[in-house]
A and B are shown apart, each in its own frame.
Chain A
Amino acid sequence: MDRTNPREFWEHVLSQVELSVSPANFNAWFRDSHLIKIEDGIVYIGVPSQFFRDMYLKKFHMLLLKIVRGISYEFRNIEYHIVKDERRKPPRMDKAGRPTIELPLNEFYIDKSDNLNPRYTFDSFVVGSFNDLAYAASQAAITRPGITYNPLFIYGETGRGKTHLIQAIGNQFKKTYPNRKAFYLTSEKFAIDFTDAVGAGTANRFKDKYRQYDLLVMDDVQFLSKKDKTQEELFHLFNALHDNNKQIIFSSDRPPVAIPDIAERLRGRLASGMTVDIGEPDVESRVAIARRKTAMHGITLSDEVIEYVALTASGSIRELEGMINSIVCHSQVKGTVPDIAEVRQSLRSFTRPQKNVSVKNVVTKVAEFYGIDEESIYEKTRRREVVRPRQIIMYLLREDFSVSYPTIGSKLGGRDHTTVIHSCEKIRREVVGDSELAKEIQDIRTLLV
């Protein structure tokens, strides 16, 4: 038996207890208890209520002490703690699918003093090649706040885990430096707060309020564009915090240079520290994320299913989360873990529309996107500016709408199906390495929906 492993330790104790007490007693008193920790020779046991603690002290204390001493003499004493109800495992899942809307109670567990959602921690953050730089920068910002990278600017497309990362920084900061103050807010909240303060004539109090923090985390700064006065206020706040070596963290969906309508002096400051992006998660990372998320819901899916989900949900992690929630919901309703066929069935709504699309429509949209003449697509020309869009059209028709190679060939001016295969392969290869191309294709896809 491993003495340092609490679970094994407790199981060993229970097996000994079971020999000494009646089964009814064992079931009544030991089923809901567990080992919290062993520290300085004291064994801490978690019990559900004071009834249990009194009984343990009265009846089982000597027995338990004898057993733990039997394991080793290093254990001096046993203490009983009444544990929080949340820590005890829920006996069953709630049935899903009630028609009445729920009160949004869940959202209100957020700690009001710092606005941080305790759900977002580094423990639940999956690090992959797409975000390891951002992760490393965050860690550096926590180790030496205000000095290494100040400000830390994290950007990436929606659903890539920006909010999770920056809130995790806040939560970690709170844990590491309990005496310092962290605060999280969105730029929109900042703007509203500011206008409210101006309206109420308490602008000075507003200034003081934000200057007191040791760590300020501001989400979605791109929404500040065009709000000149708020930008000015942020500019002053930035200076005040930065001069005092207080860590500032921003997130946005685009880099500082690309945020439109924002004052130059603020833009410069946003970019003055460390700017990192979170890219598109690769398949391996998506698999890891899918696994982590399902584990959090307490169900285990087969590798096949996880892989299917990870491959289907390209891009946004939020979409991946949606799929997992839908699978979790299904498995709760049915009471079994779904297999690949069921998952495919239930995720149909998430997969790209398999509708029949007219080739002409795709050609028109792509030609329009690249600003070329629609007719030239069908012609036999090999001009570079036409060849690329034509290949993209073939790729899209094949990937998104599953049109057969020969059909694509014949519809696009009577080309051979091998030409089509070559084009599709080419784009497929390039799209992996060329983020510019990937972005273009993504944009075209949105036009086609």
Chain B
Amino acid sequence: MILLIEKKDFINAIHTTARFTERSGMSLPILSSILILSTSDGIKFRATNLETGIDFKVKGTHKGEGVLAIPAKILEQIAGSLVGEGTVTIEQKGDTALLKIGSAQSSIRTTPPEDFPTIPIPESPKGRVVLSGVTIKNLLSSIAGCASTSSVRPELASVYFSIEGGTCTAVATDSFRLAEKKIALNGKGVQSKLLIPAKNALDIAQALPDEEVIVTFDDHQCAFVSELGMFSTRLTAAMYPDYRQIIPKESVAEAIVLRRDLELALKRATIFSDVFQKVLLSFDPKKKMLTLFSRNTDVGETTEPIAGQLSGSAIELSFNHRYLSAFFSLIAAENISLTSSGVGRPLIMRGVGDASLLYLVMPMNQ
């Protein structure tokens, strides 16, 4: 088989698929390789690390059918060195692959392709949702960052999707903070719940195209199908805690401040925060001030008052500044509301006029 691919397409395809290979190097060599196929369907690049899988269509011309597997690392390094226009030619020669770029020619030892696992697709899909790739990308990449990075509790290391009544609610929490985002769907029929491992969600979010994507899923597997190819991930098989019960209903103090003010004040407060990354937040409804305070014995201390609309009673709470600043990457609103429900209870952050996102942070022990 001989493949002719534009440099631009080749680089893009390698970068996209390489993300789905096994990186640890401890496992099977085939899992660290990209499978290159030439079929009557066209050229396809495949990769999987047994958590996620990709089946990527690549533009180009091909002669003859065949399949070969090349270590992803080598392809990535080659792709990283390419500049300018031109084509890349891949030719199969026994168990080596000939790579021609311009007048340069390299031959690469391949991995036996027989061991390559099939990339599973949902066998009997329970649900099907059509969304634009941009929406899914934004949803996944913003929310998935709030999930737990530890694998002790697999459900918390996942993004929870609940599809009901024409709305898709995505939730992630690491038990110290929680983010919930709602998006509207086109159809109303589907009703389902699924848990996508957060790490897989991030990998897929980066590879998804902007165009329309069809999401199908069953109990164990979820696939994102687009013009460009298919992305697949396993689903977490676990119960998600009923997080709605911990969203406080009552409010002790509320503040509405400008996003810019809060963001800058928090940035400065971060400089002075201690090893626990502590920032003290004081609500003072009488003076209409929300004050940030942090102290570090090595650096000094800072007080950052922000004027805003405040109501309720005065209260002081400490937070890990990382959990507070993570909120800004989730939302674009100009005004931000902070609602406290008391000492030792979660703080709710929202964008004013944006009911789709809810962010919950637990305070620190005083």
Bound CA–CA A102/B176 (angstroms)? 5
* Contact assessment for B118 and A58 in the assembled complex, using a CB-CB cutoff below 8 Å: yes
* Contact assessment for B237 and A25 in the assembled complex, using a CB-CB cutoff below 8 Å: no
Bound CA–CA A83/B237 (angstroms)? 7
Instruction: Select one of B31, B175, B243 contacting A28, CB under 8 A.
Output: B31
Please name all residues of chain A whose beta carbon is closer than 8 Å to the beta carbon of B155 when the two chains form the complex. 85
Within 8 A of A (CB), among B90-135: 115, 117-120, 123
Given A55-B117, A82-B220, does the pair A99, B320 have CB atoms closer than 8 Å? yes
Please name all residues of chain A whose beta carbon is closer than 8 Å to the beta carbon of B221 when the two chains form the complex. 49-50
B340 within 8 Å of A by Cβ?
no
Within 8 A of B (CB), among A53-93: 53-55, 58-59, 82-86, 88, 90-93
A52 within 8 Å of B by Cβ?
yes
Given A52-B50, A101-B344, does the pair A90, B151 have CB atoms closer than 8 Å? yes
* Contact assessment for B364 and A99 in the assembled complex, using a CB-CB cutoff below 8 Å: yes
Instruction: Select one of B150, B154, B242, B364 contacting A100, CB under 8 A.
Output: B364
* Contact assessment for A28 and B28 in the assembled complex, using a CB-CB cutoff below 8 Å: yes
* Contact assessment for B115 and A25 in the assembled complex, using a CB-CB cutoff below 8 Å: yes
* Contact assessment for B152 and A90 in the assembled complex, using a CB-CB cutoff below 8 Å: yes
Bound CA–CA A195/B364 (angstroms)? 35
Stretch at the interface among A106-114, A232-240, A388-396: A106-114
Within 8 A of B (CB), among A386-433: none
Instruction: Select one of B26, B173, B220, B360 contacting A49, CB under 8 A.
Output: B220
Bound CA–CA A98/B221 (angstroms)? 34
Within 8 A of A (CB), among B176-201: 176-178
Total interface residues on B, CB under 8 Å, equals: 51
Within 8 A of B (CB), among A13-47: 24-25, 27-28
Please name all residues of chain A whose beta carbon is closer than 8 Å to the beta carbon of B177 when the two chains form the complex. 103
* Contact assessment for B362 and A100 in the assembled complex, using a CB-CB cutoff below 8 Å: yes
* Contact assessment for A100 and B241 in the assembled complex, using a CB-CB cutoff below 8 Å: no
Within 8 A of B (CB), among A111-132: 112
Nearest residue (CB) in B for A29 is B28
Within 8 A of A (CB), among B218-249: 219-221, 234, 236-239, 241-243, 245-246
Instruction: Select one of B48, B120, B238 contacting A85, CB under 8 A.
Output: B238
* Contact assessment for B27 and A27 in the assembled complex, using a CB-CB cutoff below 8 Å: yes
A104 within 8 Å of B by Cβ?
yes
B328 within 8 Å of A by Cβ?
no
Given A54-B117, A55-B118, A85-B155, does the pair A101, B362 have CB atoms closer than 8 Å? yes
B255 within 8 Å of A by Cβ?
no
* Contact assessment for B48 and A105 in the assembled complex, using a CB-CB cutoff below 8 Å: no
* Contact assessment for A103 and B234 in the assembled complex, using a CB-CB cutoff below 8 Å: no
Instruction: Select one of A25, A54, A100, A106 contacting B120, CB under 8 A.
Output: A54
Nearest residue (CB) in B for A22 is B28
Within 8 A of A (CB), among B64-78: none
B145 within 8 Å of A by Cβ?
no
Please name all residues of chain A whose beta carbon is closer than 8 Å to the beta carbon of B360 when the two chains form the complex. 103
| Minimum distance in angstroms from B155 CB to a CB of chain A | 7
Bound CA–CA A91/B85 (angstroms)? 47
Bound CA–CA A102/B246 (angstroms)? 11
Bound CA–CA A388/B11 (angstroms)? 92
| Minimum distance in angstroms from A250 CB to a CB of chain B | 27
Q: Tell me which of A53, A86, A91 has the highest count of chain B C-beta atoms within 10 A of its own C-beta.
A: A86
Bound CA–CA A98/B150 (angstroms)? 14
Given A50-B234, A103-B176, A103-B360, does the pair A108, B242 have CB atoms closer than 8 Å? yes
Bound CA–CA A54/B50 (angstroms)? 11
Please name all residues of chain B whose beta carbon is closer than 8 Å to the beta carbon of A88 when the two chains form the complex. 154
* Contact assessment for B118 and A102 in the assembled complex, using a CB-CB cutoff below 8 Å: no
* Contact assessment for B320 and A100 in the assembled complex, using a CB-CB cutoff below 8 Å: yes
B363 within 8 Å of A by Cβ?
yes
* Contact assessment for A109 and B239 in the assembled complex, using a CB-CB cutoff below 8 Å: yes
* Contact assessment for A54 and B363 in the assembled complex, using a CB-CB cutoff below 8 Å: no
* Contact assessment for B238 and A84 in the assembled complex, using a CB-CB cutoff below 8 Å: yes
* Contact assessment for A102 and B175 in the assembled complex, using a CB-CB cutoff below 8 Å: yes
* Contact assessment for B243 and A105 in the assembled complex, using a CB-CB cutoff below 8 Å: yes
Please give 15 more A-B residue pairs, beta carbons under 8 A apart, in addition to A24-B27, A102-B176.
A49-B120, A54-B120, A58-B117, A59-B115, A82-B219, A82-B220, A84-B238, A99-B278, A99-B365, A100-B320, A100-B363, A101-B176, A102-B175, A108-B246, A109-B241
Residues of B within 8 A of A (CB): 26-29, 31, 48, 50-51, 53, 115, 117-120, 123, 150-152, 154-156, 173, 175-178, 219-221, 234, 236-239, 241-243, 245-246, 276, 278, 319-320, 323, 344, 346, 360, 362-365
17 A-B interface contacts by CB (under 8 A): A24-B27, A49-B220, A51-B50, A55-B118, A58-B118, A84-B238, A91-B151, A100-B363, A101-B176, A103-B173, A103-B176, A103-B243, A103-B246, A103-B362, A104-B246, A105-B156, A109-B241
